[in-house]
């Protein structure tokens, strides 16, 4: 795939009740992604959704924006990151990718 801009949304498994990353964890992620892809912008969100058992889930999620990167390499990287954090899915450029 060609170099392009990508935006990825995913959540993480952490020790925090709402799965918020610590400041150090965010810095480590940004450092790793910058090393691999040349740069990234990380934005933190908090949101909720209704679970299958009709309970509400509230958790943090994160958007990663990368510019001028190989789309397939970025996709592979973030799928692996989602799998490492036991996520059911990630959102890659507006598309749900189920694990």
Strand blocks (E) in the chain = 3-10, 41-50, 56-70, 89-92, 95-98
Domain that holds residue 63: 3-98
pLDDT tens for the 99 residues of the chain, in order = 578 999 999 999 999 999 999 999 999 999 999 999 999 999 999 999 998 999 999 999 999 999 999 999 999 999 999 999 999 999 999 999 998
Total domains present in the chain? 1
**Cα-atom radius of gyration of the chain, to the nearest Å?**
14
Q: Is 94 left (phi over 0), alpha (psi -120 to 50) or beta?
A: left
Instruction: Find all residues with CB under 8 Å of 84, minimum gap 6, and list them.
Output: none
CATH number, domain with residue 69: 3.30.70.120
């Amino acid at each position: 795939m060609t170099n392009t801009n990508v935006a990825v949304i995913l959540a993480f498994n952490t020790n925090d009740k709402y799965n918020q990353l610590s400041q150090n964890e965010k810095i480590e992620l940004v450092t790793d992604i910058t090393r691999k892809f040349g740069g990234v912008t990380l934005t933190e969100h908090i949101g909720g959704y209704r679970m299958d058992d009709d309970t509400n889930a509230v958790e943090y999620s994160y958007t990663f924006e990368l510019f001028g990167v190989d789309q397939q390499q970025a996709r592979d990287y973030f799928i692996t990151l989602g799998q490492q954090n036991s996520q059911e899915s990630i959102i890659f450029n507006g598309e749900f990718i189920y694990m």
